[in-house]
Amino acid sequence: MDIPRLRTKRLELLAPSICGLDAYQKFYSDPNASLSYGGPISNSQIWSRLKSDLGSWHLSGFGVWMIRVKDSRSIVGTCGFWQGLDWPRELTWWLLPTARGRGYAYEASIAAISHAYDNYLWHKVETYMNDDNKSAKRLVERLGGTRTRRARFPDGEFRDMYHLPRPPLS
């Protein structure tokens, strides 16, 4: 499939590729940075994670993009859609610690959510996070997300589900 390339003012959203391996290794080998993504994980698991992110596009027709900063041309994280078996589909993100606090996840999210509503014609875009993930909650609030329900997940944990509205046209 042709994985779309999205552009925002400061960012490009690209298909997962070998160009992102260094960023994946930095993120997933850092225990603090990758805690909510199940890190730290070994190099071979990191390689599998990158392949899985690419494979999602081909299996499911959606996935996460790598976030590249236009100015520096560096890959700083990922943003897009993820769905585990029997899990709800979610908007998800991770950024390298050095790329946080600059609005990159917000900017990438606007592009990803707009793409989902306008190109995939999805009726809803949702997300969720662990209760203690304050940064993700703040991001969802900035995106206008509203809590819709508390759900039990396949891992036995309960989490709040959020609806993300279509961003206003810029």
Ligand X SMILES: CC(C)(COP(=O)(O)OP(=O)(O)OC[C@H]1O[C@@H](n2cnc3c(N)ncnc32)[C@H](O)[C@@H]1OP(=O)(O)O)[C@@H](O)C(=O)NCCC(=O)NCCS
For binding to ligand X (CB under 6 A), which residues are involved? 36-37, 92-95, 100-106, 129, 133, 135-136, 138-139, 142
DSSP H helices, the chain, are: 21-28, 43-60, 104-118, 134-142
Residue nearer to ligand X on the CB measure, 142 or 147: 142
Cβ at position 169, least distance to ligand X in Å: 18
Q: In terms of Cα–Cα distance, which of 49, 65, 52 is closest to 15?
A: 65
Cβ at position 92, least distance to ligand X in Å: 6
Residue nearer to ligand X on the CB measure, 115 or 126: 126
Which residue is at the shortest CB distance from ligand X?
103
The H or E element spanning position 160 is strand 158-164
Residue nearer to ligand X on the CB measure, 40 or 103: 103
CA dist list (Å): 59 to 23, 62, 83, 120, 165:
24, 8, 11, 15, 26
Residue nearer to ligand X on the CB measure, 57 or 109: 109
Task: Determine phi and psi for 21, rounding to 5 degrees.
Answer: -60, -40
Cβ at position 83, least distance to ligand X in Å: 13
